[in-house]
Structure 1
Amino acid sequence: MDVNELNKRLKSVESDEQLNLLFFKTKQKIYGVLHGEEVATITIKDGYARYTYVDSKIKGYCKIRKLHQYLTF
């Protein structure tokens, strides 16, 4: 799977289980679009995604459907 296909699949993520499966299958790191930093954790709850970056105090928050606009493989 190439990066473009991974990002297409990221657009269709709707739950924590789907996101975990995507990471498990690919073993890829995910990065923030704006900061270019590696993402440490992502949690999905009630239609929203929260994420934090490695070695940074920056935290992100967005709707799941817009996650692909903020994060990329």
Structure 2
Amino acid sequence: MTFRAGKKNKSSLTGILTMYAVIFLLWTGYRIFFRLPEWVDEFVAKPILWISPLILFQKKLLTQMVKSLKIN
């Protein structure tokens, strides 16, 4: 018995992996170019850099779902 991933599963996985790659690159760039106190990293920068891409991805996904339902 083999598992066959549908087109929807592949596109969802691609979107999720892309999102995490973007987050990783943003965080890496931040850690290389900025040297701020630890409390700034933990309470300001990390939430902004980790939550912003998630919100944008969720907004894009929700927009696609609404368009697929043809609701204006």
| TM-score bracket for the superposition, by shorter chain length | under 0.3
Higher helix share: 2
TM-score, normalised relative to structure 2:
0.25
Higher strand share: 1
TM-score, normalised relative to structure 1:
0.25
